[in-house]
Structure 1
Amino acid sequence: MNPAIETILNHRSVRNFKNDPIPESNINEIIRAAQSASTSSFLQAYSIIGITSQKKKDRLAALAGGQTYVSENGYFFVFCADLSRHLTAASVHEQDISASVESTEGFMVAVIDAALAAQNAAIAAESMGLGICYIGGLRNNLEAVSSLLQTPDNVLPLFGMAVGWPDSYQEQKPRLPQTVIFHENEYNEIKHAQLRAYDQTIFNYYRSRSNTKKEITWTSQVSSALAKSKRLYLNKFVPQKGFMK
C-alpha cells in the first residue's frame, strides 16, 4: 500500500491535542496542499481563515457548543464559501455576475470547492503526523461567527478544522460496507438486512471502545440525529450573506 492511501485509510478524528506548537512551515504546506485541490472552472471559490488569537478560539469554541478542542489545539482553520473576490474580478471588466453568484449552482460550487480544499488540508496534516477534527458546530450561530471573523457579503463560514499533535487517539470507527456506498452503473436500493449487519458492527465497536462506551446502532444514531431539524435559521441567513437568493 502506498503512503498516501495508508494515510487516508488511517484517518480518525482527534479531539485531544498536545500543547506543542505547529511550525509555520507546516501550516504553509497545509495551505499549499489545500490550494492544490480541484476547483470548479478554476474559480477557487473559497477562503481559509487561520485563527491564531486565543481569544477568538475560545469564542469559537463557545459558539460551536463548548467543544474544548476548538480552543485547545495547535492551529485552527475556518473554511469559507467565497464568491466575494469574483464580484471584484468582474467589476474590473464592468460585468454583472450577480445572477451566478446568487444562484444555487454558485453556492454549490463554493461549498464543494471549500470542502475539496479542506480534505486536501486534512490529508496533508495527517501525513505530517498531525491529527485533525472537522468542526461543523460553527454553524450553530453563523451570524456571530461571521461577525467575529468579519466576513463580508458573499463569504460564508462553513466549518472549522482543529489541527494539532495528537495527545491520544480514539479507535477508528468502522465505515459502511462498500456494497452499501458504491453503486455500479445505477443506484441500487439498500436493504434492511444490509443495515442490520452494519448495526451489529457499530454496536460491537461502541461496546468495546476503550473510552465512552455505549450501546447504540448506526440506524438508531442517525434516526435520532435527523429526527429534529437543525439550524433552520440558515434558510434565511445564507441568502442574507448573498447566496441562494
Structure 2
Amino acid sequence: MDIALKVLPSLLDATKMTLEVFFMTLLLSLPLGLVLGLLLKTKIKWLNYLLNSLIWIIRGTPLLLQMIFVFYGFPLLGFIIENRVAAVLLAFVINYAAYFAEIFRGGIQAIPKGQYEAAQVLGLTKLETLKKIIMPQVIKIVYPSIGNEIITLVKDTSLVYALGLSELMKAGRIAMQREVSIIPLIDVAIIYLILTGVMTLILKYCEKKINYYQ
C-alpha cells in the first residue's frame, strides 16, 4: 500500500500526456474520418483507388510501426518532425481516421438508395440530404463501432512510450524498476480501468441521448 501511494503522484502526472494524446486524436481523427468516409463514395476512380489503397496500408500495419516511421522515416523523405508529441499525434490521427473512415463508409452504405431518391423528389440539395436525412441515421448506425474505437484509443495511448514520451505506461515501468515491485503496474492498470470505465459511461449516456432525439 505504501508503494502504491508513493508512486501515485508520478503516475497521475504522466496521465496528463495520456489524456492529451487521447483527446487531440479524437478531436482531429473523427471529422477527418467522416470526410474520408464520404470521399470513399466518390465516383472518381483514381481518387477512390488512392484512398482505398492508403486506408488498406494504414489499417494493415501496426500503429507502433507508423509512429516510428513518422518520427524516424519521414526525415529520410525530407519531412523533419522534431517534436515527438507532434509525431505521435500525426501517426495516431492518421491511423484512427482510417478506421473511422471505414466505419462511416459502412454506415453510409447501409442507407437505402430510396431515401436519396425521396430527398431528390422533395427538392432537397445533396448537402441538405446529407445533413438532414443521411447523417442522423448514419450516426445512429455507426455509434457502437465508434464507441469501441474510442475505448481502444484509451489503451493505445500506452504506445507513445516508444518515442520516449513520459506517459502513464512509461511512468509505471520506471516506478516498477525503481521500487523493484509489481505494485506500480497494478496502479497503472487501475488508472486505465478508471479511464475506460468513465469513457464507457459517457458513451452510454450519449447513446441514450441519440436514441431519444431520433
TM-score range for the pair, normalised by the shorter chain length? under 0.3
Instruction: Flag the structure with higher strand content.
Output: 1
**Greater Rg by CA:** 2
Q: Which protein has greater RCO, CA pairs closer than 8 Å, 6+ apart?
A: 2
TM-score, normalised relative to structure 1:
0.24
TM-score by length of 2: 0.27
